[in-house]
Amino acid sequence: MGQLGAAALGAADEVDRLKCKVRPAFALAGLAVALNGKHDRLLSLRLIRTANRAYQALGAKGSNRLGIATPAVKASRTPGDIECRVPLKTKRWNDPVEPDDGYRLLVTRYRPRGVAKANEAWDEWQPKLGPSTKLHAAVYAEGHSPVPWPVYRKSYLAEQRANTDLIDSLAKRVAAGETITLLCSSACTRESRCHRSLLRELIEARLSDHAGAAADG
């Protein structure tokens, strides 16, 4: 992993522990993602997810000007204070709309019932980024126990291999600095057991590839 990767990993631990209050750590984390994105994907994803969690928890504001998929850094008025920003979020479609949501993408297999066109809280609906009708039924259909999460995860990731181009296009938009919020069903109260978290992983994996390519270029 090298000295830079080890230092970045320590920075990520510090960011986790202090919940992004030590913001210069993000400068090191972002640099590590850019330089290690292709050669150390696990480290890259760890840092990106750490930044994502801190960003969502703190509601940090700012914009990604770096053009790569990293915890972007931006100088602020206070010396030594760096503002963090990762433009990829997840929510339920009925969660409150926030100014920094950016492009709100609905990724459910079925359109929410009873929502008039004029009241849609999303900019676009991509049903193929949701689980297939068969997989959806395996989770939500009445009369049987839902499939275990590991089985669901494996099935969903396998299904999304057919959408590589679409996922890659989303990753490129995020890498260019656009904020995208992935919206799922109102019933999905636990993000870690919702396919939106899996979709975010897929996008982050492509972000890591783009970051590695940018570092090599």
**What are the backbone dihedrals phi and psi of residue 143, each rounded to the nearest 5 degrees, phi first?**
95, 0
Q: Name the more confident of 154 and 142.
A: 154
Most confident by average pLDDT, 10-14, 19-23, 177-181: 177-181
Unique residue bearing structure tokens 């928890």: 57
Is it the case that residue 5 has pLDDT exceeding 60? no
pLDDT band at 209 (very low <50, low <70, confident <90, very high): confident
Give which of 192, 166, 207 is closest to 41, Cα–Cα. Answer: 207
Q: Is the pLDDT of residue 135 over 50?
A: yes
Tokens of 49: 């997810």
- What pLDDT is stored for residue 42 in this prediction? 53
Beta strand extents in 11-155 (DSSP E only): 72-75, 82-85, 88-92, 103-106, 124-125
Q: Give residue limits of the domains in the chain.
A: 1-86, 87-217
pLDDT for residue 153: 95
**Stronger pLDDT, 47 or 15, i.e. the higher one:** 47
Kindly indicate the confidence band of residue 68, based on its pLDDT and cuts at 50, 70 and 90: very low
Cα 83 from chain centroid?
18
Query: Which residue's entry shows tokens 């590589």?
Result: 164
Helix H or strand E encompassing 182: strand 180-184
pTM confidence score: 0.61
Name the band, by pLDDT with cuts 50, 70 and 90, for residue 172: very high
- Residue 75 has a pLDDT of 32
Six-digit token string for 194 = 């919702």
The predicted-structure confidence for 73-113, as pLDDT tens digits, reads as follows 333 333 333 333 457 999 999 999 999 999 999 999 999 99
Give the pairing of strands 82-85 and 103-106.
unpaired
